[in-house]
Structure 1
Amino acid sequence: MERPTPPDGYRRAIEAHRQAAPPPRTDPDITAAVERQTAAMRELSRRAFPEPDVVHGT
C-alpha cells in the first residue's frame, strides 16, 4: 500500500519549520559524560553477561 504524496503546501510548511527551528543546543560536557556512562554500562554488561565461547562442531 503506497502512501499518498503530501501536498506542496504541506512540504513547504515542514521545510520552513525546519529552517526556522533553532538548532539543538548540546553541552560538550554533558555529551562527554553520557559517552563515559554508556561505555561504563557496556563494560558492566559485558562482565555480567559474558559471551559464551563458541565451539564449532565438526
Structure 2
Amino acid sequence: MPTSRFFDLSKPTAVIAIGLMMVILVMVLPVPAWVMDIGLTASFAFAILIFTTSIFIEKPLDFSS
C-alpha cells in the first residue's frame, strides 16, 4: 500500500511553498519587535557569510561545495 505523500516536505517545491506562506503570514499577522530583530540579524549574518565565502574562494566551483 503506498504511503501518504502529504508529509513529504523535503522536496524543493514544498520548501518554497512553505517559505512563501511564512512570508505572507509575517506580512499579515503582527510580529513582535524582538522576532523581527532576530530575523534581521540572521539575514545580515547569512549575507556576510556568503560575501566572505565569495571573497576567499579561488575557483567558482568551490562555492557550490
TM-score band (shorter)?
Answer: 0.3 to 0.5
Of the two, which has the highest radius of gyration?
1
Please give the TM-score of this superposition, normalised by the length of structure 1.
0.44
Q: Which gives a bigger RCO, structure 1 or 2 (Cα 8 Å, sep 6+)? A: 2
Higher relative helix content:
2
Please give the TM-score of this superposition, normalised by the length of structure 2.
0.40
